[in-house]
Amino acid sequence: MAIKRIGILTAGGDAPGLNAAIRGLGKAAIADYGWRLIGFRDGMRGLAENRFTELDAASLSGILTTGGTLLGTSRDKVHRMVVDGETRDMIPTIVENYAKDELDALVCLGGGGTAKNARRLMDAGLNILHLPKTIDNDIVETDTSFGFATALEIATEAVDRLHSTAHSHHRIILTEIMGHRAGWLALGAGIAGGADVILLPEIPYDVGAIAEKIERRRSHGSAFSVVAVAEGALNQTDAQELAHARALVKDASSSDLKALAKKNVKTLEASHRANTFTLAEQLEAATGLEARVSILGYVQRGGTPNAADRLLATRLGVAGANAIAEGTFGVMVGDRGNGTELVPLKNVAGKIKFVPRDHEWIRAARAVGTALGD
């Protein structure tokens, strides 16, 4: 098949390196292969509404170092998109737009949700390619995803800076770091920043065990502690309750029961949004030390991508253009070792790369005396 025109979009949360990836794929597509490139505005919604802009060499110039995404993004689901107040399956409309725009391939940049949308479009017959983006580093079948390295530096610097305040005021400072289901970011920043305690979604914590670690530090002359907390970290009781609720979703025998079970999961997740503040109160009561909370939030996703993310995004973008030229579709371009690997989307969509309890980073944290709350 002779490739003439391809589309590209960015979906899900913004992350450092998106523009670098657009640039990498776009420059290779235009300069090396002579293709035309269009960028859809605001993720899957722009694709459904057929809002796009032509991307040429001039529009791709100067974006390597900029954060965010020049195309805009959204978290819409292609099969359940709210249009004019109604939830609609927009896949047929997207298929029509793909043909109307005379596309030969569509490249989707995003995380886990984007991978699921990409697979739905692949199953509808479109030539799809996925590039892995997320600061959470939770996409399977890739060593890392662009956005992670920059977010890791930002979170690490925050942990570094909080040490001086914690030390000066003899306080416990809890730093909430992004990571709803997987704790890679909190774990990496906690180790690199020298946090005394690291709490992850994968290892439910016991408040007593954390307090004991803090008291042990105080008995050795350190009247302060820094705790790196992934936003999805839960105590053991709450983790069991949420795990049971998620199991009910999988075991639901009808669509109505599944919808009810999903609603219950969302309710439970919402009830835990203030967990870091609750934990701060519990630790203050248990130790007698003042406890303060610092929420890093979206600052982790913003700003200039670092060198590692620029390099990774460029590599994956160029590899994506090469894959299209070879006629390979329905895949994600994964980062593997010193190269790239094309992974079937069916092996990626709907899966999460959790931190294994025996991972080298976990072992290293424990070896240097960092507590993990268990």
For residues 190 and 284, give the distance between their C-alpha atoms in angstroms, rounded to a whole number: 21
Cα separation, 95 vs 121, in Å, equals 8
Q: Which ranges of the chain would DSSP assign to H, the alpha helix?
A: 18-27, 43-49, 57-60, 91-100, 112-123, 148-169, 184-192, 207-219, 236-251, 255-271, 275-287, 307-325, 360-367
Please give the Cα distance from 358 to 360 (Å, whole number): 6
Q: Strands of 291-295's sheet, edge to edge?
A: 197-199, 225-230, 172-177, 291-295
Sign of the alpha-carbon torsion through 295, 298, 303, 309 = positive
φ and ψ of 313, to 5 deg: -60, -40
Q: Which residue has the tokens 């609720």?
A: 245
Q: Report which of 98, 79, 101 is spatially closest to residue 88, judged by C-alpha positions.
A: 79
Token readout for 267 is 């309710």
Decide: helix, strand or coil at residue 306: coil
Which tokens go with 87?
Answer: 């939830």
Of 104, 136, 138, 335, catalytic: 136
Q: Is there a catalytic annotation at residue 76?
A: no
Query: Pairing state of beta strands 86-88 and 81-83?
Result: antiparallel
Structure token pair of residue 339:
């190269």
Report the candidate in 17, 357, 368 with the shortest Cα–Cα distance to residue 193.
368
Tokens, residue 96: 């029509």
| Residues recognised as catalytic | 136
